[in-house]
Amino acid sequence: MGKVVFYEDRNFQGRSYECMSDCSDMSTYLSRCSSCRVESGCFMVYDRPNYTGNQYFLRRGEYADYMFFGMSDSIRSCRMIPQYRGSYRMRIYERENFQGQSYELMEDCDNIQDRYRMSDCRSCHVMDGYWLAYEQPHYKGRMVYLRPGEYRSMRDVGYSGMKFSSVRRITDSC
């Protein structure tokens, strides 16, 4: 079970809200959210309500300022990432709608283009596990949280025209 405490102001100041599950709109509890402490588990935080906008992965630790994440605004929603101990499996596709060449991944991949000679990676099907997909190689740039399911394009997760270049499993080290 995960637990995160959100604070209205930077450096853990102001009113707080303790969260142990998904929260689609933080404004229900706080006027803004500028810092947080993850006491256990892992969470994705978003700078827009309803799990949209820029995303950032948080594991146990202290985050004194939302700007540390590179967010343009305060934290507006969060999603708890379930602990998972099974196998990991994802099929990636070169083009949207599961078109073009495809490969199955079961491990992290720091550079999809180099490893698989794919010019782009624009859709995927996550069969097992929870993953983070990154816009750039070596786990850099914007990130996207991927749960089991089909993603016909990155529009399905709020990023129009985005392709991803590296992927990492979210392991139980949270």
My answer on whether 52 and 70 are in the same domain is yes
Containing structural domain, residue 128: 89-169
pLDDT bracket for residue 70 (50, 70, 90): low
Distance CA 77, CA 74 (A): 9
My answer on whether 99 and 73 are in the same domain is no
Residue from 88, 119, 117, 120 nearest 104 by CA: 88
In a domain, 57, yes or no: yes
My answer on whether 67 and 127 are in the same domain is no
Query: Which secondary structure element, helix H or strand E, spans residue 112, and what is its range?
Result: helix 112-116
My answer on whether 70 and 96 are in the same domain is no
pTM for this predicted structure? 0.90
Give the pLDDT confidence of 117-171 residue by residue, as tens digits: 988 899 999 999 999 999 999 999 989 999 999 999 988 777 777 789 999 999 8
Domain boundary pick from 62, 81, 100: 81
Domain boundary pick from 63, 81, 99: 81
User: Dihedrals φ, ψ of 119, to 5°?
Assistant: -70, -35
User: Dihedrals φ, ψ of 8, to 5°?
Assistant: -65, -40
In a domain, 47, yes or no: yes
In a domain, 174, yes or no: no
My answer on whether 93 and 163 are in the same domain is yes
Distance CA 28, CA 95 (A): 39
